[in-house]
Chain A
Amino acid sequence: MLAFRVDQVIAGYGAEPVLRDLSLQIPAGRVTAIVGANGCGKSTLLRCLARLHQADSGCIQLGEDDLRLFSTADLARSVGFLPQFPQAPVGLRVNDLLALARHPHRHWMVSWSAEDEAARCEALRLTDLTELAGQPLDKLSGGQRQRAWIAMMLTQSTPVLLLDEPGSMLDPGHQLELIALLRALADAGRTVVVVMHDLVAARHADWLVALDNGRLAACGSPVDVLNPVLLRQLYGIDSHILTAPDGTPVVVPVRQADLPLPQAQPLPVSMASVGPFAEVSASVAERRLVLLFAVLQFTLLLDYMVLMPLGAALMRDFDMGPARFGSLVGVYTLASALTSLLGGRWIDRGDRKRTLLALYAGFVVATLACGLAGQFGELLVARALAGACAGLMNATMMAMIADRIEPERRGQAIGAIMSAFGVCAVIGVPSGLGLAALGGWRLPFLAVAALSALWWLRLYRALPRSPVSVGAGRGSLRSPALALGWVLSFCIVFAGFLIVPYLGAHLNGTLGVDLRDLSWIYLCAGLATFVVARGIGRAVDRFGAAGILAVLMVASIIPHLWLTQLQPGPLWQTTAVFVLFMALTSTRSIPASVWLIGRVPPPLRGRYMAVNTASTEAASGLAAGCAGWMTGGDGAVLQHFDRVGWLAAGVTCVSLCLLAGLHRFGASQGASTTTADRLTPVATAES
Chain B
Amino acid sequence: MTKAARRLAPIPLLLVLAYAALVAGTPRLSASQVYAGLFGPGSDWLSTLVTQFRLPRLCAALVVGIGLGAAGALLQNLTRNRLASPDVLGINDGALLALALSLMLNPSGLLGPWWCAVAGALITAVFTLLAAGGVGTRGYRVLVVGLGIASLLRAGFDIALATLSIFHATGLYAFSVGSLAGRAWPVVKVAAALLGILLTACWVISRALVLLCLHDDSIRGLGVNLGQLRFTVLMLAAALAGVAVGVGGPIGFVALAAPILAQRLSPDGGIPVWCSASIGAVLVTGADLLGRIAAAPVEVPVGVVSGFLGGPFLLWLLMRPKAYGAG
Whether B130 is near chain A, meaning CB under 8 Å from some CB there, is yes
Q: Are B218 and A86 within 8 A (Cβ)?
A: yes
CB pair A79–B221 under 8 Å, yes or no, is yes
Q: Which of A102-110, A222-230, A329-337 contacts B (4 or more CB under 8 A)?
A: A102-110
Residue of A nearest to B80 (CB): A89
Q: How many residues of A contact B (CB 8 A)?
A: 42
Interface string of B204-220 (1 = CB under 8 A from A): 10011011011101101
Residue interface bits A392-404, CB-to-B below 8 A is 1, else 0: 0000000000000
Q: By the criterion CB–CB under 8 Å, are A81 and B218 in contact?
A: yes
The answer to whether the Cβ of A284 comes within 8 Å of any Cβ in the partner chain is: no
Chain B 287-327: CB-based contact to A (< 8 A → 1; otherwise 0): 00000000000000000000000000000000000101111
Whether A73 sits at the interface, judged by CB under 8 Å, is yes
A390 to B214, CA, bound (A): 45
Closest B residue, CB atoms, query A96: B269
Q: Give the A-binding residues of B (Cβ under 8 A).
A: 105-106, 123, 126-127, 130-131, 133, 204, 207-208, 210-211, 213-215, 217-218, 220-225, 267-270, 322, 324-327
Whether A275 is near chain B, meaning CB under 8 Å from some CB there, is: no
Q: Secondary structure of the B side of the interface?
A: loop
Nearest residue, chain A, Cβ from B131 = A457
Shortest A153–chain B CB gap in Å is 9
CB-contact partner of A90 in B123, B222, B327, under 8 A = B327
6 intermolecular pairs with C-beta atoms under 8 Å apart: A47-B217, A83-B217, A85-B215, A89-B327, A96-B269, A103-B211
What are the residues of chain A within 8 A of B215 when measuring CB–CB?
83, 85-87
Is A89's CB under 8 angstroms from B223's CB? no
Q: A349: CB under 8 A from chain B?
A: no
Contact B208 A439 (CB under 8 A): no
Q: From the candidates A47, A87, A91, A108, name the one contacting B269 in the complex (CB within 8 A).
A: A91
Of B210, B214, B222, B325, most buried by chain A (CB within 10 Å of CB) is: B222
CB contact between A92 and one of B106, B213, B326 (< 8 Å): that residue: B213
Decide yes or no: A91 and B267 within 8 Å by CB, A81-B221, A103-B207, A439-B105 being known contacts: yes
B16 to chain A, nearest CB (A): 29
Contact call B214/A100, Cβ cutoff below 8 A: yes
A101 in the interface, Cβ–Cβ < 8 Å? Answer: yes
A93 to chain B: which residues have CB within 8 Å?
A: 268-269
User: Which residues of A have CB within 8 Å of B210?
Assistant: 100
B106's partner among A138, A439, A450 (CB-CB below 8 A) is A439
Query: CA separation between A548 and B222, bound complex, in Å?
Result: 46
User: A52 an interface residue at 8 Å Cβ cutoff?
Assistant: yes
B221 adjacent to A52 (CB under 8 Å): yes
Q: Give the docked Cα–Cα distance between A443 and B106 (Å).
A: 12
Q: CA A136 – CA B269 in complex, angstroms? A: 9
> Are B221 and A76 neighbours in the complex by a CB distance under 8 Å?
yes
Residues of B within 8 A of A96 (CB): 268-269
Give the CA-CA distance A665 to B64 in the complex, in Å.
Answer: 73
Q: What residue of chain A has the Cβ atom nearest to residue B208's Cβ?
A: A103
- A101–B221 Cα distance when bound, in Å, is 9
- A240-286 CB contacts (< 8 Å) to partner B: none
The 7 closest A-B pairs by CB, nearest first: A76-B223, A81-B221, A104-B223, A90-B327, A83-B217, A91-B268, A439-B105
Determine the residue in chain A with the shortest Cβ distance to B137: A87
Residues of B within 8 A of A106 (CB): 207
B109 CB → nearest A CB, Å? 15
CA distance A50 to B225 in the complex (A): 14
B81 to chain A, nearest CB (A): 12
Are B214's CB and A88's CB within 8 A? yes
* A450 CA / B221 CA spacing, docked (Å): 37
Q: Given the complex, which residues of A lie within 8 Å of B224, measured CB to CB?
A: 72, 76, 103
Complex CA distance for A438 and B105, rounded to whole angstroms: 9
List the A side residues contacting B105 at CB < 8 Å. Answer: 438-440, 443
Shortest Cβ distance from residue B29 to the other chain A in the assembled complex, whole angstroms: 43
Closest approach, in angstroms, between the C-beta of A450 and any C-beta of chain B? 8
Shortest C-beta distance, B145 to chain A (Å), equals: 10
A478 / chain B contacts, CB cutoff of 8 Å: none
* Residue in A50, A86, A91 whose beta carbon sits within 8 Å of that of B214 in the complex: A86
Complex Cα spacing A96 to B225, Å: 21
CA distance A106 to B133 in the complex (A): 32
The residue in A50, A75, A96, A100 that gathers the most chain B C-beta atoms within 10 A of its C-beta is A100
